[in-house]
Amino acid sequence: MTTKQMKGFEDSYVVEGKMALPYTYFAGSVGSKFITTIRDEKKIMGVKCPTCNVVYLPPRQVCDKDFTDIRDNWVDVGTSGMVTNFTVVRYDDKHLPRKAPFVLALIKLDGADTPFMHILEECKLEDVKIGMKVEAVFAKETTNTILDIDHFKPVAERASIHERNAGRKKWVADAEPAIQGKQKGGKPDMSKPVIIAAALTGAATMRNQNPSVPYTPAEFATEAYKCWKAGAAMVHVHAREDNGMPTHDHERIRATYNAIKDKCPELIVNLSSAVGMGKTTEQRISQIIAVKPDMASLNTNTMNFSIVDRKTGKIFIEYVFENTFTMLQEFGKAMEENGVKPEIECYDMGGLDNTLLIAKQGFFSSPMNFNFVWGVAGGQSFRADSFIAMMNALPANANFTTCGVGPEEFPCIMQSCLLGGHMRVGLEDNIKMPNGELAKGSYELVEVAVNIADSLGRAVATTDEAREIMGVRKK
Amino acid sequence: MDRAAIIGVGMTKIEKSKVRDTFADMAWEAVNKALADAGMTIDDIDNVVTTSSDFWDGRTISCMAVGDASGAAHKNVTCVEGDGTYGAFYGMTRSLSGSYKTTLVTGHSKGSQSISSLITNSAFDPIYERSLGMDMVTACAMQARSYMHRTKTTPEQMALVSVKNHGNAMKNPLAQLPMNITVNDVLKSEMIADPLHKLDCSPVSDGCAAVIIAHESVATKFKQKPVWIKGVSFCADSFFFGDRDLSRVKSLTEAAKKAYAMAGIKDPKKEIDVAEIYDAFSYQELMWLEEMGLADDATAGKLLEKGDFNIEGRLPVNASGGLLSGHPVIAAGLYSMAAVVKQIRGDAGGFQVKKAKTGLVQGLNGLGGQSHCVWILDQEK
C-alpha cells in the first residue's frame, strides 16, 4: 500500500490499496466436461432439460424453469450459430480480453435454445448485425477455460448464384463448332456453363409425399421462382388441377405457364408432352401446340412405366407408356413447326436409337437436346458405363442432361456434370435430400446441383446462356 | 396485516468524489439527517439494517464497518447486500415482525474509490463468462439494443431521458450532475458501448442515504408525517444472460403486479402520481416504465417526447434528476425512496410535483436488472 496526498485537498490523503484475493473456482462436473470437451474434441456441448426440452448453454446442473436435474443430459450444439445481441466495447480496462474497440456478442448456437456470450472477431464493427451467422474459432493453445474457444467469426455467406454469374464473363459459343470427339476419350468438355433444370411436379408426385408439390398456377409460379433464385435456368412442368390430378386442359396449362412467366419472365419453361397416365395422343400434343412453350418433352419409345415396390419387386400399377415411331415423328414435327424446342427423353439406349433413326428425316433443328432418364420401372437403372455409352452415341453438337428417380438423382447428375452435360433435379424425380430428409421444395434440390457444379468448378448457366446452348428461342 | 411507514429520510449530497469523507463519515451525516427529519434520537431506533457490497467497500464483512457511525452499537444490526430498496424491504419486515418497532436502514457507496467495471465483471460466472470481459456497461448495452430492436425506440428518445433527468437535477441541490443539455449533446457524447453514449450512462458517484421505517403503532409518535408503505414486492429472473429475453423484464412486471395488488391499485397509469425509477442508463427509464405498466408496450419513448414524464407531466418520472444525475450504487434505491417520500410529504422543494398522493419507487439488483423491487408509497394509510 502507498499513500498519496490529494491535489486540492491538503487535509486529506488516500491510501492506494488492492482487493486481490486468490480464489479457487471449482468448475464442477458439468463445467469440467464442458471445458474439456471444447479442449479435446473441439465440440461445444449443452444440456437438455427432459421436462421442457430447452437446450441450455452454458450447461448447468438444474433447469431453473422446472427444477429438473439435467446435468447428465448432454447434447452437442454444434460450433456455428447466430448473433442474437452484441455491443462494441469502446473502452480499455484490465478485465477486458481485447483492446478496444472489440465486439462482445450473445450467440445462439444452432443446437442450443439459449444464447451464450463470446467475443466476435474477423469482421468490421459496422458489419455486425443481429442475425448474422457465426462459427467458433478454437484457441491454438489451451488455457482450460472458456477461452479455449478463442472467438467467433462470421461464416462467409456465399453470394447468390445470380450475383456470382453477374461477376463472371458471359459464356459464348466457340466460333468453331464443337466436335463430337471433344466429349470422347475421357476428355469431357466442362467449359460450358451447366444448365440446371427443376422438374417441379411430374404426373405422379403428390402432396402427401412432399407438401411442396405445386398444384395451382400461383404455387407453380412461387416454386419456379424459388428454383430460379437458387440457380435453375429451366423448369419442367406437368400442370395439375387443384386436387393434384395431372391435366391436359389447355386453359389450366396455359394459366400455369403464364403464371410462371409472369413471376419469372426469363426462366425457360418446358412442358410435358406425356402429361400423365392414360392421356390420348391428341390430349398430349394439342396442348403443346396451343401453349407453345419454350421447350417440351418428347418421349422416344413405347415402354412399361409402372409403379412397383422396389424392395419386393411387387407390381402396384401396370401401365404401358405409348410412344410409337409415328408419335415420336408427329410430336417432334409439331414442336419444331411451332418453335418449341424438343427435349428428347431417352429411358434407355433403344429410345436414343429410335430418335437417331427418325432424325434422318431431318426435321430436328440443331442442336438436339437429350435427357437421359434413369430408374423408371420399365426403363433402365443408372449405371455409369451405360451413361457413357449413351453419351458416346449422341450426334455431333447434341446436348445432354440427365435425371434419375429417387436416390439415383444425385449420382446421375454428378456424372453428367463431370462429363460436360447438364443436370435436372426436382420433386418430379425425387422428393428427398441426399441425407434422406424431405426436400423443402425443388429449390433445395437445385441448391444441391449448384454445389455439385461448384465442386467441379463449372459455372451455372444463366437463362440466356441456357437458351443459347440449347437453341431455345429468345424470351 | 400490520402496516409500516417511512417516518424519516436523510441523504448526503451525491458527489463525484467525497475525498474528505470515509464511509463512516457519510453514514454519520445521513443517519443524523434522517433522525433530525424524523424528530428522533438514536435511542429511538430499535435496530439497524445497513446495505453494502464488500467489493465496493474494498473490505470484507463490510456491513460491520459503518455500524458505529450509524448508531448501531449495542443494537441488533444486520446487512443486506444489494440495492438499498432490498435493505429497506428487510427493514420493513423487521418493523412488522413484532420484535422491533423502528428500523434504521442505510445504504452507502463510494464509486470513486474503486473501478466499477472490475467489480461488475466479477459478478459474471467465473467458468463461462467472466474472462470474456462482460461488465455492467456491456450487459446493459446489450439490453438496450434488444429493447430498441423490439420496441423501435430511437437513440433520440433514449437521449431525451438523459436531457430530462439532468435538467430535473438542476432543481435538486443533492444531485451530482445538474446539466442543461440537448439530445444532440447526448448523441455526440463519446460512444462507450454501442448503443450507449457516455451521457446515456449514469456517473460514478459517492453518497449515503438513510430511511427510518416504523411500525404503525409508533409511526405517528414522532414529529414527521408518516408516508405509508402500501405495497412492496421483489422478484428475480434467471442469472445467465442468454436464459432471459433481454428485451423484456418479466421479474419487474411480476414485482409491479404484486405491489399494485397489495396496494389495491387497479390502474397504475391513473393512480400513480409520481415515480422514481432506476435509470442507471437512459433506456432503462423507458423500459422499466413499460414493464411496470406505467406506459403501454413500446410507447414510453413517444410519451416521453409528449412530455408525459416531465415534472409538470401526467406522470413525473425521476423529478429528482434520477440516477443519471448521480448514481451511488447500493444507496441508489434509498435515494429514490427518499425522493418519493419528500414528494408525498410536499417537501421536495424545487422538484416538487403538483399532485403526489401515491408514489412508486423501483430498485434493482443484478446484471441488466435481473431482480427488481417495487414500492408503492402513499399519503394515506
pLDDT band at A183 (very low <50, low <70, confident <90, very high): low
Strand partners, B274: B359
CA distance B292 to chain A (A): 22
Return the SS3 of A2: strand
Q: Do B241 and A117 touch (CB under 8 A)?
A: yes
Q: Do A88 and B238 touch (CB under 8 A)?
A: no
Query: Which CATH number fits the domain B4-115+205-215, given the four candidates 3.40.47.10, 3.30.70.360, 3.90.850.10, 3.40.50.1950?
Result: 3.40.47.10
CA distance B53 to chain A (A): 13
pLDDT tens sequence across B336-375: 999 999 999 999 999 999 999 999 999 999 999 999 999 9
Q: Do B115 and A90 touch (CB under 8 A)?
A: no
| Residue A451 sits in the same domain as residue A359 | yes
Q: Is A392 exposed, middle or buried (0-12, 13-18, 19+ CB in 10 A)?
A: exposed
DSSP letters for A69-118: B-TT-EEE--SEEEEEEEEEE-S--TT-SSPSSEEEEEEEETT-SS-EEE
CA distances from A73 to A30, A82, A375, B92, B202 (A): 10, 23, 44, 43, 43
State percent of chain A over pLDDT 70: 97
Return the SS3 of B132: helix
Candidate from A10-19, A134-143, B70-79 with smallest mean pLDDT: A10-19
Q: Do A25 and B145 touch (CB under 8 A)?
A: no
- Beta strands in A110-237, from DSSP E residues, in sequence order: 116-120, 133-138, 149-154, 196-199, 234-237
| Residue A135 sits in the same domain as residue A257 | no
pLDDT band at A176 (very low <50, low <70, confident <90, very high): low
| Residue A269 sits in the same domain as residue A359 | yes
pLDDT at position A250 over 90: yes
B241 touches chain A (CB under 8 A): yes
C-alpha cell belonging to residue B172? 435538486
CA distance B283 to chain A (A): 15
| Residue A361 sits in the same domain as residue A214 | yes
CA distance B272 to chain A (A): 33
Residues B174, B165: Cα–Cα separation, whole Å: 14
pLDDT at position B22 over 70: yes
CA distances from B58 to A181, A458, B25, B30, B52 (A): 86, 67, 16, 21, 11
Nearest residue of chain B to residue A57 (CA atoms): B242
Q: Which DSSP symbol is given to A189?
A: -
| Residue A235 sits in the same domain as residue A133 | no
The overall average pLDDT reported for chain A is 92
Sorted by sequence, the CB contacts under 8 Å of residue A264 that are 6+ apart come out as: A221, A224, A225, A228
CA distance A163 to chain B (A): 30
Return the SS3 of B46: coil
B149 touches chain A (CB under 8 A): yes
Q: Do B128 and A58 touch (CB under 8 A)?
A: yes
| Residue A216 sits in the same domain as residue A301 | yes
Is A11 among the domain residues? no
Residues of B whose CB is below 8 A from A12: 19-20
User: Residue A188 belongs to what H/E stretch?
Assistant: none
pLDDT tens sequence across B188-216: 999 999 999 999 999 999 999 999 999 99
Phi-psi region of B285 (alpha: psi -120 to 50; beta: other; left: phi over 0): alpha
Q: Do A56 and B19 touch (CB under 8 A)?
A: no
Residues A272, A285: Cα–Cα separation, whole Å: 9
Instruction: Out of A154, A176, A211, pick the residue that ends a domain.
Output: A154
B112 touches chain A (CB under 8 A): no
Residues of A whose CB is below 8 A from B131: 97, 145-147
Is A277 among the domain residues? yes
First CA to last CA across chain A, in angstroms? 85
B267 touches chain A (CB under 8 A): no
B194 touches chain A (CB under 8 A): yes
Residue with cell 457444379: A453
* Rg value, chain A, Cα: 31
CA distance A1 to chain B (A): 13
pLDDT tens sequence across A256-266: 999 999 999 99
Say which of B149, B193, B238 has its CB closest to residue A130. B149
CA distance A20 to chain B (A): 10
Q: Is A186 exposed, middle or buried (0-12, 13-18, 19+ CB in 10 A)?
A: exposed
Residues A235, A229: Cα–Cα separation, whole Å: 12
CA distances from B190 to A91, B120, B283 (A): 10, 21, 17
Q: What is the pLDDT of residue A160?
A: 85
| Residue A300 sits in the same domain as residue A436 | yes
pLDDT tens sequence across A7-59: 777 777 888 888 888 999 999 999 999 999 999 999 999 999 999 999 999 99
pLDDT at position A310 over 90: no
Nearest residue of chain B to residue A105 (CA atoms): B142
Is A5 among the domain residues? no
| Residue A436 sits in the same domain as residue A382 | yes
Q: Do A19 and B58 touch (CB under 8 A)?
A: yes
pLDDT at position A353 over 60: yes
CA distance B54 to chain A (A): 10
pLDDT at position A184 over 60: no
Sorted by sequence, the CB contacts under 8 Å of residue A380 that are 6+ apart come out as: A347, A348, A349, A374, A386
Q: What is the pLDDT of residue A182?
A: 47
CA distance A142 to chain B (A): 14
Return the SS3 of A462: coil
Which residues span the domain enclosing A391? Answer: 188-470
Q: At A279, which CATH number?
A: 3.20.20.70
Residues B372, B86: Cα–Cα separation, whole Å: 9
pLDDT tens sequence across A221-246: 999 999 999 999 999 999 999 999 99
pLDDT tens sequence across B159-187: 999 999 999 999 999 999 999 999 999 99
State percent of chain A over pLDDT 90: 83
State percent of chain B over pLDDT 70: 100
Residues A380, A363: Cα–Cα separation, whole Å: 28
Residues B339, B319: Cα–Cα separation, whole Å: 8
The A-side interface with B (CB below 8 A) comprises: 6, 9, 11-12, 14, 17, 19, 25, 27-28, 31, 34-35, 56-58, 60, 64, 84-91, 93-98, 104, 106, 108, 114-119, 130, 145-147
B61 touches chain A (CB under 8 A): no
Residues A402, A195: Cα–Cα separation, whole Å: 11
Candidate from A391-400, B173-182, B254-263 with smallest mean pLDDT: A391-400
DSSP letters for B293-308: TSS-TT-HHHHHHHTT
B154 touches chain A (CB under 8 A): no
Strand partners, B76: B47
Q: What is the pLDDT of residue A131?
A: 92
B145 touches chain A (CB under 8 A): yes
| Residue A259 sits in the same domain as residue A142 | no
**Taking the domains of chain B in order of start, what are their residue ranges?**
4-115+205-215
| Residue A150 sits in the same domain as residue A193 | no
CA distances from B243 to A54, A60, A106, B182, B239 (A): 10, 12, 11, 37, 8
B55 touches chain A (CB under 8 A): yes
Nearest residue of chain B to residue A14 (CA atoms): B19
* Domains of chain A: total: 2
Count of CB contacts below 8 A, A vs B?
121
Residues B315, B305: Cα–Cα separation, whole Å: 13
Instruction: Out of A100, A128, A154, pick the residue that ends a domain.
Output: A154
Residues of B whose CB is below 8 A from A114: 240, 242-243
Q: What is the pLDDT of residue B93?
A: 97
pLDDT tens sequence across B87-136: 999 999 999 998 999 999 999 999 999 999 999 999 999 999 999 999 99
Strand partners, A268: A234
**By C-alpha distance, which of A433, A459, A427 is closest to A233?**
A459
Say which of B126, B138, B238 has its CB closest to residue A64. B238
- Looking at chain B from residue 288 to 327, which residues have their Cβ under 8 Å from any Cβ of chain A? none
Q: What is the pLDDT of residue A180?
A: 47
Q: What is the pLDDT of residue A137?
A: 96
| Cα atoms in the 13 Å half-sphere on the side-chain side of B45 | 34
Angle of the A442-455 helix axis to the A217-230 helix axis, nearest 10:
20
pLDDT at position A371 over 80: yes
Secondary structure string (H, E, C) spanning A287-348: HHHHHCCCEEEEECCCEECEEECCCCCCEEECCEECCCHHHHHHHHHHHHHCCCEEEEEECC
Longest Cα–Cα distance in chain B: 55
Q: Is A159 exposed, middle or buried (0-12, 13-18, 19+ CB in 10 A)?
A: exposed
